[in-house]
Structure 1
Amino acid sequence: MKRVPAAVRYTILRLLAFVVPLLLLVFLTGLQPWVAAIIAAIIGLCVSYIFLRTPRETVAQELYARRHGDKPTPHDDEDSEDAALDASAATPEASSAADQRGRGEERQTEDHPER
């Protein structure tokens, strides 16, 4: 027998958390259906937030695993950027040239404030 997916189980539990209070409010209290629907939605939200934490987290983990699969996390560009920063910090000429370029751009924007 196949196991019911966590998303289906969570959806059914969320629907029950809404439908049961809705039916109770409509048939036992005699409220108008639209008022009962609003109250049932609030009750269902509270019940699912408090009591359905584990199924919600299971669904989130399954969605994450399905979305990302076995793909490795790419870090190549971060490593190359770190290496470039380390190399520029190691040579004082490169860092002083970058500082002078930055000061030149500041001076240029002070001369022409509309840029």
Structure 2
Amino acid sequence: MQFLKYSLIRLVLFFAVFAALYWLLGFSPWLAAIIAAVIAFCVAYLFLNRMRTESVRQVQGRVEELRRNPGTHKGTVEREDEDAEDDFQ
């Protein structure tokens, strides 16, 4: 959940800066997007350090869990297909 919050905050920050540059200051869309990306990155790096660290831990934990238990991320349909293939052989 922390990863989702962190990503959402960064997206909102990017679009807020982009909107301000594009509509209020009249920058071209490409230049506004580049500047907004740099500003969003810098602000997130400086002020959202704890949230970023927690989101990295969350993603890292999920990846480690998937490595330990391969196949647990699959849906029921995929598991049924694999079981049917195993039964067929």
* TM-score after normalising by structure 2: 0.67
Query: Paired residue for 1:40?
Result: 36
Structure 2 distance, partners of 1:37, 1:65, is 32
Higher relative contact order (CA 8 A, sep 6+): 2
Letter paired with 1:38: I
1:57 aligned residue = 53
Give 1:34 deviation, angstroms.
Answer: 1.1
Structure 1 gaps of 5+ residues are 72-115
Structure 2 unaligned segments of length 5 or more: list them.
69-89
Q: Which runs of 4+ in 1 moved over 4 A?
A: none
Supply the distance in 1 between the matched residues of 2:63 and 2:29 (Cα, whole angstroms): 39
Q: Whose radius of gyration is greater, 1 or 2?
A: 1
Offset of residue 31 of structure 1: 1.1
Q: CA RMSD in A?
A: 1.4
Percent of pairs with identical residues: 35
Amino acid in the other structure paired with 1:32: S
C-alpha displacement of 1:35: 1.1
Output one character per residue of 1:2-24: Cα deviation in whole Å (capped at 9) or x when no partner: xxx11110110110121110000
Number of aligned pairs?
A: 66
